Homo-oligomer: A and B are copies of this chain.
């Protein structure tokens, strides 16, 4: 939703408020950064998350200072950034980055319903490793008691992105400097089994 605080002051043409733009960025990102203010002091914590519809879930230890600082609905800013490429222009000035980013202004709602908590943990697990949850033993009541799940509305989310090659000044166009894009990608490498484990086949979802 476009509001004063979700409208960028720079390059507002790169901003979007469509779920169709925002959701895939959140689904492609593995981690977000949760920022909050503690007596005027900004704090930031990177963490795993998952999205379901218009809700973003995170989890943490019930004892975490971070979780306790935001679980009562203090304002947070959740940011996600996927760097897709380095944009090399003819001038340093026009160097840029191809990225897909999302910023969410929201307030935590502590999830108290047990089924919703469990579902959120499954979603967070499967967001990082699709297919993992169903391969695991059930989470115990004791483990659940140690875990807080927080939900954030995506109502005030915005995306900002850049794609394409460099935008050079006309007078630089003919410089013999190499210009273009160096694509960046996060890749998953060959899984490394736990030391001591023997004869456990790598599951299909990790192939």
Taking Cβ atoms with an 8 Å cutoff, the residues of A that contact B are 5, 8-10, 30-31, 33, 35-37, 40-46, 48, 61, 63-66, 75-79, 81, 83, 86, 88, 90-93, 95, 97, 99, 101, 103, 105, 121-122, 125, 128-129, 132-133, 135-137, 139-140, 143, 146-147, 165-166, 172-173, 175-197, 200-203, 206
Contacts and interface: CB of A to CB of B under 8 A. Distances in A.
B178 A201 contact: yes
A147 B173 CA distance: 22
B143 A93 contact: yes
A19 to B, nearest CB: 21
15 contacts: A9-B66, A10-B64, A31-B97, A33-B44, A35-B35, A35-B43, A37-B40, A92-B121, A92-B133, A135-B177, A177-B200, A178-B206, A183-B189, A184-B186, A186-B186
Nearest to A60: B10
A95 B137 CA distance: 12
How many copies of this chain does the complex contain? 2
Given A177-B137, A187-B185, A77 B193 contact: no
Contact of A136 (B83, B177, B201): B177
B179 A10 contact: no
Contacts of A41: 5, 37, 75, 77, 105
Please provide the 7 A-B residue pairs with the shortest distance between their CB atoms, ordered closest to farther: A9-B65, A35-B35, A46-B81, A183-B189, A37-B37, A179-B194, A42-B77
